[in-house]
Amino acid sequence: MTIKELHQLFLEFPQVCTDTRKISPNCIFFALKGDNFNGNSYADQALEKGASYAIVDEKEFATGHKTILVENALSTLQELALFHRNYCRAKVIGLTGSNGKTTTKELITAVLSRKYKTIATKGNLNNHIGVPLTLLSITPDTEMAVVEMGANHLKEIEFLCKLAMPDYGYITNFGKAHLEGFGSEEGVIIGKSELYDFLTSHGKSIFFNADDPIQKKKLAMVIKKFGFSQNDNEFFKIKLLGADPFVKIEVGDIHITTQLVGSYNFTNCCAAILIGKYFNVELDEIKKGIENYIPQNNRSQIIDRNGHHIILDAYNANPTSMKAALENFQQLKADYKVAFLGDMFELGKTAEKEHQEISNIVTNMNFDQIFLIGENFFKTRGNFNKFKSFEHLKETLNKNTLKNATILIKGSRGMALERILDLL
């Protein structure tokens, strides 16, 4: 079966699934493989649960007219996604960066949805499987598609661009994320910039933060670019009015009060404002889109519980985002501040240095209590409450009750520090 023929089948059954636990009626099941599973062995189960067809890549599982044998199920999924992307009329905005990708994606979507039929990456499905699934969620009436692209190695963004074929793109920032895979901060810049490289080589347009010296330098010779800035009148002016705790913004004569905590979220809002303005969304509609956006999934959430005022930012962490969160927390007005900081993952050989650097930064901050959790933070020098694991922290908190504190919870996803909420 050719990709064109498979696409005709997809138009008849426009739902794709790769997990038999999430089968929807009349979907097409793709039998993908992982380190610990073989999707081919679940093909019959997918059909029994209501899938119309199953795409398999091992002959022994092609047992009936509803199973379609291909050379490689993953490659076929990707090729189908590219074919569908080119078949549809939606404009695609590619998005990557070290920090703030998902929040920025959701803000852009909230703004564009005020005027256009818009779809976006669900959750953080931003890899070689998630991007194809996002592209296949584009419907005939979709006008805008916001596609988040994640990477932890060089050439990954380049590959995802060849699938998504973005018409526009934005990079949130370049930070100390995935240093284990990228090798260095310079590697991060090169890897993330693959989005801008793709756009410029295809004559497409770029959105950027003109106050970011790295982005400004990289794009100095690029013509089709549109930037935002607090100070440079050459670009679209957006001003930060404050962030204690919520980000407040001024655009022209419009004031926007967000439900996002932390000045580090200012540029995420700016990107959504700039892109909305570029696509002729009225400023008052942009204001509504941003003000109505409420962060979820442990990303910069404000939670009041048992007398505590909590900033829950435990979805992920790297040295850049950790430093930004701590600096913002230091600026907040509060009587009693407590910080729970969890290990930062995927730092490779720089892990010891980066964790010690965060420990040194915290030393000079006027927090009333500091709890460091995880094997890397446990090894750092400093007079803090340090715990090798969450279980060790749990034992201590069960014995020592905090009262009426303003609390920051920040750590990598693998630390699952949102569990601290149940201990307060």
Closest CA to 171 of 197, 140, 134: 197
DSSP 3-state assignment of 138?
A: coil
Q: Where are the alpha helices (DSSP H) in 129-208?
A: 130-135, 156-164, 179-182, 185-192, 194-201
Strand partners, 348: none
pLDDT of residue 302: 87
The pLDDT tens digits for 287-300 are 999 999 998 777 77
pLDDT of residue 147: 97
Residue 79 belongs to some domain of the structure? no
Q: How far apart are CA 335 and CA 347, in angstroms?
A: 34
**CATH number for position 47:** 3.40.1390.10
144 and 262 in a single domain? The answer is yes
Q: How far apart are CA 236 and CA 226, in angstroms?
A: 8
124 and 272 in a single domain? The answer is yes
* 386 and 340 Cβ atoms separated by less than 8 Å: no
176 and 250 in a single domain? The answer is yes
281 and 341 in a single domain? The answer is no
Single out the residue in 40, 72, 104 at which a domain terminates. Answer: 72
Domain tally for the chain? 3
Q: How much is the pTM?
A: 0.88
Q: Where are the alpha helices (DSSP H) in 306-374?
A: 319-331, 351-363
Cβ count near 68 (within 10 Å): 21
Single out the residue in 12, 45, 72 at which a domain terminates. Answer: 72
Single out the residue in 291, 319, 343 at which a domain terminates. Answer: 291
Residue 82 belongs to some domain of the structure? no
182 and 285 in a single domain? The answer is yes
Residue 244 belongs to some domain of the structure? yes
**CATH number for position 313:** 3.90.190.20
265 and 324 in a single domain? The answer is no
Q: How far apart are CA 311 and CA 409, in angstroms?
A: 6
30 and 130 in a single domain? The answer is no
195 and 245 in a single domain? The answer is yes
pLDDT of residue 267: 95
pLDDT of residue 389: 93
Residue 83 belongs to some domain of the structure? no
| Order of strands, sheet of 53-56, starting from the edge strand that comes earlier in the sequence | 16-17, 28-30, 53-56, 67-69
127 and 267 in a single domain? The answer is yes
267 and 392 in a single domain? The answer is no
**CATH number for position 192:** 3.40.1190.10
Closest CA to 160 of 109, 208, 189, 197: 197
218 and 285 in a single domain? The answer is yes
Residue 359 belongs to some domain of the structure? yes
The pLDDT tens digits for 188-246 are 889 899 999 999 999 999 999 999 999 999 898 899 999 999 999 999 999 999 988 89
Report how far apart, in Å, the C-alpha atoms of 414 and of each of 4, 212, 356, 396 are.
40, 30, 19, 21
Residue 206 belongs to some domain of the structure? yes
pLDDT tens digits for the chain (424 residues)? 899 999 999 999 999 999 999 999 999 999 999 888 899 999 999 999 999 999 999 999 998 899 999 999 999 999 999 999 999 999 999 999 988 899 999 999 999 999 999 999 997 789 999 999 999 999 999 999 999 999 888 899 999 999 999 999 999 988 776 777 677 888 888 989 999 999 999 999 999 999 999 999 989 889 999 999 999 999 999 999 998 889 999 999 999 999 998 888 999 999 999 999 999 999 999 999 999 999 877 777 888 988 999 999 888 888 988 998 999 899 888 899 999 999 999 898 999 999 999 999 999 898 999 999 999 999 999 888 999 999 999 988 877 778 899 999 999 999 999 999 988 8
Structure tokens at 226: 């549109």
164 and 190 in a single domain? The answer is yes
- Domain range for residue 101? 88-291
pLDDT of residue 188: 85
